[in-house]
């Protein structure tokens, strides 16, 4: 995290011209980082506490697949909880950042920290997950996401990494812009990773005849029966790493592009 406090020409200039403003700037950076981190960590623990209650009700013997079907009204409440969680993370990003790029960076930073400490809190309270390869249900929007715990942790670490790069340049007088190339890589990578998480349930629905347009007799009872007997066996790591490769390529492109502009601006060789 020390990248926030590296003395670049921009920061050095502020320190020389106005030492008081320099000290205030450093203090402000540290406070912002601490507050956003603390908010995300406590949100992770709060989320875990809610899940502890849910598992006590629906999985008293411990969470495992197949999933237990829950009443529609509770399912809808769970969807609202997921949406409000994302809105809260968006709000902290909006408050912490100045430019649009920095707001986005603080959002994905908070998201990554929140997700990682959610699993830390579950490990401390329930002793779960047993390992990073333990399967978990991740999200319900727009369909059910599942995968080994390691997969969302990798995504969270990637988001934190990207966020720190953006915040570093933004806090040293350089605006980070997402070009068409990096934007395309991020979009394709995100879509591919998304499909790696929902692939298992899409295949389940396909083999159960949900997508049969000519003879579709699939109903809610059939869906609940299929879910209540489904146990995932293998995660598509190949698809996941292809998506991760695209995103890392976008991060690398942003870093190189920002570094070139930064060096040109301050005439750094």
Q: For 249-259, how does the pLDDT look when each residue is reduced to its tens digit (9 = 90+)?
A: 999 999 888 88
- Tally of domains within the chain: 1
* Residue 45 exposed, middle or buried by CB count within 10 Å (0-12, 13-18, 19+): middle
* Confidence band for 173, pLDDT divided at 50, 70 and 90: confident
User: Higher pLDDT residue, 230 or 156?
Assistant: 156
Cβ partners under 8 Å of residue 189, min gap 6? 243, 244, 245, 246, 247, 248, 249, 250
Per-residue pLDDT tens over the stretch 111-166: 999 999 999 999 999 999 999 999 999 988 877 899 999 999 999 999 999 999 99
Report the distance separating Cα 34 and Cα 166, nearest Å: 17
State yes or no: pLDDT of 16 exceeds 60: no
What domain range is 141 assigned to?
2-266
Q: What is the CA radius of gyration of the chain?
A: 22
Of residues 86 and 18, the one with the higher pLDDT is: 86
CA distance 245 to 38: 30
Give the closest residue to 89 by CA, choosing from 126, 45, 39. Answer: 39
Q: Report d(CA 148, CA 121) in Å as an integer.
A: 17
Q: Collapsing DSSP states into helix, strand and coil, what is residue 145?
A: strand
| Helix (H/G/I), strand (E/B), else coil: 80 | helix
């Amino acid at each position: 995290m020390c990248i926030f406090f590296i003395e670049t020409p921009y920061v050095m200039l502020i320190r020389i011209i106005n030492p008081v403003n320099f000290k205030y700037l450093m203090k402000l950076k540290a406070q912002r980082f601490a507050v956003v981190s603390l908010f995300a960590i406590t949100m992770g623990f709060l989320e875990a506490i809610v899940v502890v209650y849910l598992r006590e009700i629906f999985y008293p013997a411990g969470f495992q697949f197949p999933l237990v079907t829950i009443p529609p009204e509770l399912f809808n409440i769970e969807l609202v909880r997921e949406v409000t969680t994302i809105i809260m993370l968006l709000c902290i990003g909006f408050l912490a950042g100045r430019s649009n790029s920095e707001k986005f960076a603080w959002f994905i930073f908070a998201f990554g920290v929140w997700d990682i400490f959610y699993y830390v809190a579950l490990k401390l309270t329930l002793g779960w997950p047993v390992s990073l390869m333990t399967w978990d249900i991740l999200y319900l929007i727009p369909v059910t996401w599942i995968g080994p715990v390691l997969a969302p942790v990798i995504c969270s670490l990637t988001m934190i990494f990207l966020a720190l790069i953006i915040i570093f340049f933004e806090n040293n007088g350089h605006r980070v812009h997402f070009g068409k190339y990096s934007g395309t890589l991020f979009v394709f990578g995100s879509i591919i990773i998304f499909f790696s998480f929902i692939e298992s349930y899409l295949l389940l629905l396909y083999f159960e005849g949900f997508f049969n347009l000519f003879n579709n007799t699939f109903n809610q009872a059939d869906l609940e029966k299929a879910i209540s007997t489904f146990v995932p066996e293998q995660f598509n790591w190949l698809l996941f790493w292809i998506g991760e490769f695209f995103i890392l390529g976008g991060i690398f492109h942003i870093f190189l592009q920002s570094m070139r502009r930064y060096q040109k601006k301050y005439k750094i060789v």
